[in-house]
Amino acid sequence: MKLQTPALSIYLMADNDTVELAEAAAAGGATAFEIGIPFSDPLADGPTVQRAGQRSLAGGMTTSRALEVVAAIRARLDQPLVPMTYAGPVMAYGEERFCADAAAAGADGLIVPDVPPDEAGELRAACSANGLDLVPLLAPTSPESRIALACEGAGGFVYLVSVAGVTGARGGLAGGIPEFIQRVRPHTGLPLLVGFGIAAPETARAALDAGADGVIIGSKAIEVSEQGGPEALERFVAGVAAALHD
């Protein structure tokens, strides 16, 4: 996958309105999308993403239907699409079958936060066989050995979690991000995207100024969409995009 930088990746939960929201975010300047496939026990998700996942599941969303959402977005947009889910849905679906079907739907990569890099061999092989990049997550608490291992098998970009915790909008950029980026940068030439807690144009700009190649916005994008629909999301994304290009 080839990311435009500075990257602005928007996370949206697969649901009935996701295609419309993705089109609105793209119009606002989103350069990539992560499409959540809901799971009943989402360990890394904060309240907002959990609420979106529960709403999606209650509406009948399944892994197969979520991949249909990815395909519908791909039919309308050219930006990289990266499904994000957990090991449970992937393993239940079958790793090889999931990766094949995700690629057929137009996905460019995959994020599975509860599969650590030292246990991702089979999933990475299934991704590689189907032309998908497996994107790792790293946290500020990650030791050097884990950073090196994750970056060695990384594809597409490296997801830098700004805080040790779950997703959720926060008031500003967490401390220590410049140092975190400096620790990871020597291990990979891939773009480094900061996520978890990016909720305002100023925070996104601060991440870029700290040395990141882009940001990932999930909880705030969902909150804006819940409150104002596609039009509000487009305005929000446009504000962040403008800040990234200042």
Among 15, 34, 213, 223, the active-site one is: 34
User: Could you read off the pLDDT of 200-231 as tens digits, one per residue?
Assistant: 999 999 999 999 999 999 999 999 999 999 99
Would you call the peptide bond into 178 cis, given omega within 30 degrees of 0 as the criterion? no
Neighbours of 246 (CB within 10 A): 8
CA proximity to 173, closest of 146, 212, 119, 134: 212
Look up the CATH number of the domain holding residue 149: 3.20.20.70
Domain count, the chain: 1
Residue 143 resides in a domain: yes
Report which secondary-structure segment, H or E, holds 151: helix 144-152
pTM exceeds 0.85, yes or no = yes
Over residues 186-210, the mean pLDDT reads 95
User: Could you read off the pLDDT of 145-163 as tens digits, one per residue?
Assistant: 999 999 999 999 999 998 6
User: Could you read off the pLDDT of 67-87 as tens digits, one per residue?
Assistant: 999 999 999 999 999 999 999
**Confidence bin at 21 (pLDDT 50/70/90):** very high
Among 15, 45, 95, 108, the active-site one is: 45
Kindly tell me if the per-residue pLDDT of 192 is higher than 80: yes
Report which secondary-structure segment, H or E, holds 203: helix 201-209
Q: What is the pLDDT at residue 197?
A: 82
**Confidence bin at 171 (pLDDT 50/70/90):** very low
Q: What is the pLDDT at residue 40?
A: 80
User: Could you read off the pLDDT of 105-127 as tens digits, one per residue?
Assistant: 999 999 999 999 999 999 999 99
Q: In degrees rounded to 5, what are phi and psi of residue 226?
A: -65, -35
Range of the domain at 140: 7-244
Q: Is 34 a catalytic residue?
A: yes
Could you give the CA distance from residue 216 to residue 10 in angstroms, rounded to a whole number? 6
Residue 98 resides in a domain: yes
Q: Which residues, at least 6 apart from 174, have a Cβ–Cβ distance to it below 8 Å? A: 140, 162, 163, 197
Residue 230 resides in a domain: yes
Q: Which residues, at least 6 apart from 139, have a Cβ–Cβ distance to it below 8 Å? A: 161, 163, 164
Q: Is 41 a catalytic residue?
A: no
Residue 2 resides in a domain: no
Residue 1 resides in a domain: no
End-to-end CA distance of the chain: 25
Average pLDDT, rounded, for the chain? 93
User: Residue 27 CA to chain centroid, in angstroms?
Assistant: 18
The proportion of the chain whose per-residue pLDDT surpasses 70, expressed as a percent, equals 94
Q: What is the pLDDT at residue 176?
A: 85
